[in-house]
A and B are shown apart, each in its own frame.
Chain A
Amino acid sequence: EAGVTQFPSHSVIEKGQTVTLRCDPISGHDNLYWYRRVMGKEIKFLLHFVKESKQDESGMPNNRFLAERTGGTYSTLKVQPAELEDSGVYFCASSQDMSYRNTGELFFGEGSRLTVL
């Protein structure tokens, strides 16, 4: 079974440019999350999709970030225009249906490293 895949693995762009990151979750996983780790800091939540709906986007830094999940399959995270502080590793994770006793098991991709110059 294929795991969570992310593309690109590394992107280097100039300040002011646009970058789109893509995540393909594990097939059948309705829940998709985006997280980010900036240099030296902990991994931080950005947002949560349930199928194609945004369940929680409280972690999105500002309106330069736009996440979509058309059709409830893959997701994209667009940063436009990119700023220096957006540099970091963007992780996507997916999980099966939630239940009250959520196992908490998130399946992570390998991340997309973004460098803004």
Chain B
Amino acid sequence: EDQVTQSPEALRLQEGESSSLNCSYTVSGLRGLFWYRQDPGKGPEFLFTLYSAGEEKEKERLKATLTKKESFLHITAPKPEDSATYLCAVQGDTGGFKTIFGAGTRLFVKA
């Protein structure tokens, strides 16, 4: 069964303090691994898709990387506006087009 586990559940950082969020996954044939950002009271907002081990994507202060078992979301010099819940998700090649989500990491960045 496809599964996604994210850690830590919550992360508190000072502004400018870089860190990484972890996403461990189990999937039968990875079609894609996705990162989303979710603000309170809103729906998830797409950030990245990674397709194969070794791939990296960047957007502003965020950088996502992928191995065969994990993905990391690196946050460089975060700002308070980066505070949100970050969701990792996967699609396997045997599950149609359903996306399997992790529970998320709640990030708090203090000024």
Contacts and interface: CB of A to CB of B under 8 A. Distances in A.
B99 A56 contact: no
A43 B49 contact: no
A111 B104 CA distance: 17
Interface residues of B, number: 24
B29 to A, nearest CB: 13
A103 B44 CA distance: 15
Nearest to B35: A104
Contact of B97 (A43, A56, A91): A56
Contacts of A33: 98-99
Interface string A73-112: 0000000000000000001010000100111111111110
Interface string B90-111: 0100001111111110000000
A107 B46 CA distance: 7
Contact of B102 (A42, A91, A108): A42
B27 to A, nearest CB: 13
A55 B34 contact: no
A42 B103 contact: yes
A16 interface: no
20 contacts: A35-B101, A42-B101, A42-B103, A42-B104, A43-B44, A48-B96, A55-B97, A56-B97, A91-B43, A101-B51, A102-B31, A102-B32, A102-B97, A103-B49, A104-B34, A104-B46, A104-B49, A105-B46, A106-B44, A111-B42
Given A55-B96, A102-B97, A110-B43, 18 more contacts: A35-B101, A41-B103, A42-B103, A45-B98, A48-B98, A55-B97, A58-B96, A58-B98, A59-B98, A98-B97, A104-B34, A104-B46, A104-B49, A104-B89, A105-B34, A105-B46, A108-B44, A109-B43
Interface of B: 4, 31-32, 34, 41-46, 49, 51, 87, 89, 91, 96-104
